[in-house]
Amino acid sequence: MKHLVSLALVAGLATSCTSRNFSHWPAAHGPGSGGAPSIYRWTYARTGYDGGPQPSGLRLLWSFNEEYAEFLSSPVVADGRLYGTYTVHDISGQFGTVFCLDAATGKLLWKAQEVDGESLKGILSSPVLSEDRKSVLIGSGMEFDDRGGVYLLCIEAATGKVRWSRHVPNNHILGAAAVHGDMVVVGAGAVERNDHAEIEHAGFVMAVRISDGRELWRMPVVDPESSPAFGPDGTLYIASGLPLENKPGTGAAVYALRTETDHELEAQRLGRVIWKTPTPLGMVSPITLADNLVIVGGGRNYWGFSVLDGQYGRPLEGAVVALDRQTGHVRWKIKTPDSVWAPIAAGGGRAICSAGGHNEYSIADPPKGELLAVELRSGRVLWRQKISKGTPVLAGPVLTDSRVYVLAADEMLAVLDANSGQLIEEHRLSSHDRPAVEQMCVAGPLLVGGHLYVATQAGGLRCYAGSAQAPGSAEASCGPGAPR
């Protein structure tokens, strides 16, 4: 993928693909169902919701910020603590920080800024916890640096001490990791250059043992920058992004993979790929699992930096594709007015998609950002709603039984009715002294314990509460705006 931003082919059966025990795998069937802080966005349905109260009439409880900090990844909350990241840009480069706060007060508990004596590079990947909640797992390094600096990190959750690091010298890690047991899996994506030179290191998927940092296996995949997901049977799903220039058939696919070591697969005479399904565009959104579907989004340009130039004049275009989890066959697909790279939240028979990865627009090329609700069974669009007058929506939404909480690229926080798309309330988060001029709000909110945690590019990390609404209860809509 560019800058810090830059049919099914069945290779085997998806059943009985691993001998590991996945009996305690959290279900991913709807908002708040069996989630955990070891999963990005709380469940593989990517709802960003723990099943607790659904606040309305939002009011600020606390905020955390540092000078020149940009908060580009979603936090994770567990055991009264919040783990997050920020990036600072200066003339010498991009520098990242992983930090821990008291989730109730926003008080800083620790921060980690170095690995092996070197400053961390900028961070886009969101943190997840190990299943025992003792380790924070995250990719550091948004962009290949000639001096290195891209790592998969394992950090002690209690102290902020780096336990181990795996160096990724020629690629970058943008998506959040997937965790199961003592294994963490990430995608290391390609770094496209502005001069359109041929990409030498196209990318790979890597599995590492959490307890000691030992690499378990890796597999070449073109630009796997989506966050992977584990199915209930142990299958790993991940998407492939931008096709390599002048190399037809590369990139633009979804994979189902076995996760045993190479030695274990050889002993069973099995390949790693269960199925591979080509897609019409490069797929970069985190993998969403719901109703026996694998759902992923993508497009021709990626979060905030138009790739019109890199894609040689082809029009802006996005897509959401849903595939059968066992076979990889396409169940439905829809076109969107712009790229869908943010997490797609699924639950209640619907998927909520944030469309709009293009923030370099003009009068002749107006913004195309919107939120879509799609019926899981058929792919039929249920409603569409523009946020902040069509500002691009680059962050994944929170989906509850009755509400959608979403952050537009210009730092407008909106609450919608999940059934109708009607706008209930809006809150402008950017300040006059530091407006969101770059419109790079890319971190999805998180709703845990009735508190809404929101990371913004310019406005810091904030915690909101409101009048608690019990899950599933009805509440009259009180705000302006109706979906078109």
Which residues face 406 on adjacent strands?
414
Residue 326's contacts (CB-CB under 8 Å, 6 or more residues apart) are 13, 14, 15, 292
pTM as predicted: 0.87
**187 sits in which H/E element:** strand 183-188
Check: CB of residue 305 under 8 Å from CB of residue 252.
Answer: no
Reading the block at residue 369, the tokens are 């950002």
Exposed, middle or buried: residue 61 (CB in 10 Å: 0-12, 13-18, 19+)?
middle
Cα separation, 197 vs 181, whole angstroms: 40
Q: What is the pLDDT of residue 434?
A: 56
Q: What is the pLDDT of residue 159?
A: 97
Q: Which amino acid is at 409?
A: A
Cα separation, 293 vs 224, whole angstroms: 19
Residue 364's contacts (CB-CB under 8 Å, 6 or more residues apart) are none
User: What is the full per-residue pLDDT of the chain (484 aa) written as tens digits?
Assistant: 433 333 333 333 333 333 344 333 333 333 333 458 999 999 999 999 999 999 999 999 999 999 889 999 999 999 999 999 999 988 777 889 999 999 999 999 999 999 888 888 889 899 999 999 999 999 987 664 444 568 899 999 999 999 999 988 888 888 999 999 999 999 988 776 544 445 667 789 999 999 999 999 999 998 898 899 999 999 999 999 876 655 555 678 999 999 999 999 999 999 999 999 999 888 889 999 999 999 999 887 654 444 333 444 455 678 999 999 999 999 999 988 778 889 999 999 999 998 765 544 444 455 567 899 999 999 999 999 988 887 888 899 999 999 999 998 888 999 999 999 999 999 988 665 555 555 678 899 999 999 999 999 888 999 999 975 645 544 433 333 334 3
Reading the block at residue 153, the tokens are 């990190």
Check: CB of residue 183 under 8 Å from CB of residue 210.
Answer: yes
Q: What is the pLDDT of residue 90?
A: 80
Q: What is the pLDDT of residue 25?
A: 36
Q: What is the pLDDT of residue 116?
A: 85
